[in-house]
A and B are shown apart, each in its own frame.
Chain A
Amino acid sequence: MTGPTTPTAAAAVPTGSVPAAALALGDDALVLAQRLGEWAGSAPVLEEEVALANIALDLLGQARVLLSLVGDEDELAYLREERAFRNCQLVEQPNGDFAHTISRQLYFSTYQRLLYGQLAAGDGPFAGLAAKAVKEVAYHQDHAEHWTLRLGDGTEESHRRMQTACDALWRYTGELFQPLDGLGTDTAAMDSAWLDSVTAVLGKAGLTVPAGPRTGAWSAGAGRQGLHTESFGRMLAEMQHLHRSHPGASW
């Protein structure tokens, strides 16, 4: 960093629609990777240690490519304040129990698969990375769907927990379909395809599609504008602490 600028100003939100879109998508992937990284050593079975880390790594890989389109990946990840992050609020939600993590994965990976599917089919600046990412997120969605079925249609307790999780996170899903300049995606079509897909999976799992609103004045969803939920600042404090303690160091 140079000059008397604050870290926030140095790693400020970029101008231009392509960098702004890359930042939003990169932040989504980075923040969810960080959340999934918190699971390491605590998963319910060893296979899930592998699977959750695998998904986290894919997302971190996406984040690094996307952030590098905007600027220096580490400067962007470690030196921005909470208000300069552009991720949606869904991905920053705490892991909760395994059902909350799976519900978050179901909602987000379904969105990502539709998003990268559209981007890969186009010829915009994201087509190349989307072609790779769409294969990864197809695996993520498959994993989330399988677990949604197992938890929804498993025991009474798992059903109850999965329903609770799906209800709790529902309010964060509308934000996924706010139009993002620079992407050229059809968000209305994505939204309806998302709703169809998630409704089908929840139905197959014996779960009820949550009743609350997904968008609107009092529902959540201003992450793209840099307004986040309370736990996010604490997550960033942990993520950034070491890097910020050694200004200018390389690792």
Chain B
Amino acid sequence: MTTGTAETTAPEGATASQAALEAVFDAAVAADERIEPRDWMPDAYRAGLVRQIAQHAHSEIIGMQPEANWITRAPSLRRKAILMAKVQDEAGHGLYLYSAAETLGTSRDELLDKLHSGRQKYSSIFNYPTLTWADVGAIGWLVDGAAITNQVPLCRCSYGPYARAMVRVCKEESFHQRQGYEALLALSRGTEAQHAMAQDAVDRWWWPSLMMFGPPDDESTHSAQAMAWKIKRHSNDELRQRFVDIAAPQAESLGLTLPDPDLKWNEERGHYDFGPIDWDEFWNVLKGNGPCNEQRLTKRRQAHEDGAWVRDAAAAYAAKHRPATGRDDTHHTGTDAGPHTDGEARA
């Protein structure tokens, strides 16, 4: 919590000019203090965070689909249990993140509506199909690995609720990533067919994983401002390099190769060099032309539409059985069917 909160949230802001508010905000960010929901913040900071957190939440929800695709077919009961738990965790991460976004004055319903209408994005990686069981392992190792590289610095992001959500998310993601690596290792050391399956999956997921860090620094529109506000701590290219440096030796210990002839250790830089990314593909997938964009959104919309009568039922039931206390009446009026459903469903 920043100091001077009471001052900056004075109802009319009568005594504090815009410049003074900004000065307090800038000082808090500079001092690495956390901005909290009731603190004053620039409109663009708020909007940028809503965009980023919502996109993050949407990615967790859409990201359930490629993996859920294999739940019913997982080849052992142990792997089935691990995969189910992982997909469940992703729904949970979505919930934390929508809650974090709601502290900025939006609602989950509004954000889901924007996802369904294509006005907000989700991570481009989930527009790739899971074609074999090994894809589940490759997603755990590479996609979760890239996500963690991106997200660990967000645990220190300037906005408190987002940073705290990321602490919980990162713990679970690291666990998933180790499980993904372990699943791939079992395949790599298994039969010839299993090894080939693992290699094929890594070949298909490597480049899309590198694209998860976003466009190169000179084409990243939101980066400079996000870094100035300490929402982001490192540039896209910096994080991408960090990921390659971690993943390349891991591939070796897995006994698998990465599909990049230019990949090699550079003694001088102390980093791995790697080949050029196909940015045309990246922008195409982002624009909705990836292999599964249509399918992912259609399935999400379908689940939402098919569930409408269930949410309506929960809201109608809650309205009928609302306790007749004044506090509850004021608190639960309006269109908050969601929160009712939430509390009850978890009971």
B306 touches A149 (CB 8 A): no
Q: Does B13 contact A (CB under 8 A)?
A: no
Given A50-B88, A150-B314, A251-B186: A43 in contact with B76 (beta carbons within 8 A): no
Interface of B is mostly: helix
B312's partner among A40, A154, A242 (CB-CB below 8 A) is A154
Binds A, one of B144-152, B189-197, B273-281: B189-197
Residues of B within 8 A of A61 (CB): 81
Per-position 1/0 for A4-31, Cβ under 8 A of B: 0000000000000000000000000010
Bound Cα distance from A45 to B346, whole angstroms: 11
Could you tell me how many residues of chain B have their Cβ less than 8 Å away from some Cβ of chain A?
A: 56
A248 CA to B191 CA in the complex, in Å?
A: 9
Alpha-carbon gap, A249 to B187, bound state (A):
9
Can you list, as one digit per residue, whether each of B287-310 has a CB less than 8 Å from chain A (1) or not (0)? 000000000000100110011111
Contact A38 B76 (CB under 8 A): no
Docked CA distance A30–B133 (Å)? 20
Q: Which of A40, A43, A64, A241 has a CB less than 8 Å from the CB of B307?
A: A43
**B347 and A45 contacting across the interface, CB-CB below 8 Å:** no
B71 touches A46 (CB 8 A): no
**A contacts with B: majority SS:** helix
Interface flags for B332-347 (1: CB within 8 Å of A; 0: not) read 0000001001101111
Judge whether B331 is part of the interface by a CB distance below 8 angstroms: no
- Chain A residue numbers with a CB within 8 Å of B65 are 41
Residues from chain B with Cβ under 8 Å of A143 in the complex: 345, 347
- Cβ-closest chain A residue relative to B187: A251
Q: Tell me if A241 and B73 are in contact (CB < 8 A).
A: yes
Known: A238-B73, A243-B75. A40 touches B317 (CB 8 A): no
Say whether A44 faces chain B, with CB atoms less than 8 Å apart. Answer: yes
Q: Are A63 and B307 in contact (CB under 8 A)?
A: no
A47, A77, A98, A249: the one contacting B191 at CB < 8 Å is A249
A37 touches B84 (CB 8 A): yes
Bound-state CA distance A88–B20 (Å) is: 70
The answer for the CA separation of A49 and B84 in the assembled complex, in Å, is 10
Q: A41: which of B87, B133, B183, B191 is its contact (CB, 8 Å)?
A: B87
Complex Cα–Cα for A158 and B313 (A)? 6
Q: Is B85 an interface residue (CB 8 A)?
A: yes
* Chain A hits for B98, CB < 8 A: 46
Question: Is B73 in contact with A47, judged by CB distance below 8 angstroms?
Answer: no
What are the residues of chain B within 8 A of A135 when measuring CB–CB?
A: none
* A41 adjacent to B303 (CB under 8 Å): yes
Confirm or deny: A51 has a beta carbon within 8 angstroms of a beta carbon on chain B: yes
What residue of chain A has the Cβ atom nearest to residue B340's Cβ? A150
* Residues of B with C-beta under 8 A to A64: 77-78, 81
25 sampled A-B residue pairs with Cβ under 8 A: A38-B72, A40-B84, A40-B87, A41-B299, A42-B302, A42-B306, A44-B306, A44-B308, A45-B314, A46-B94, A47-B345, A49-B91, A50-B95, A51-B346, A53-B84, A57-B81, A57-B84, A98-B306, A150-B313, A155-B312, A158-B313, A238-B72, A246-B75, A251-B133, A251-B187
Given contacts A46-B94, A154-B316, 15 further A-B contacts (CB under 8 A): A37-B80, A40-B64, A43-B303, A44-B311, A45-B338, A50-B346, A53-B91, A60-B81, A64-B81, A67-B77, A155-B309, A157-B309, A242-B75, A246-B194, A250-B76
Chain B positions near chain A (C-beta within 8 angstroms) = 61, 64-65, 68, 71-81, 84-85, 87-88, 91-92, 94-95, 98, 133, 183, 186-187, 190-191, 193-194, 299, 302-303, 306-317, 320-321, 338, 341-342, 344-347
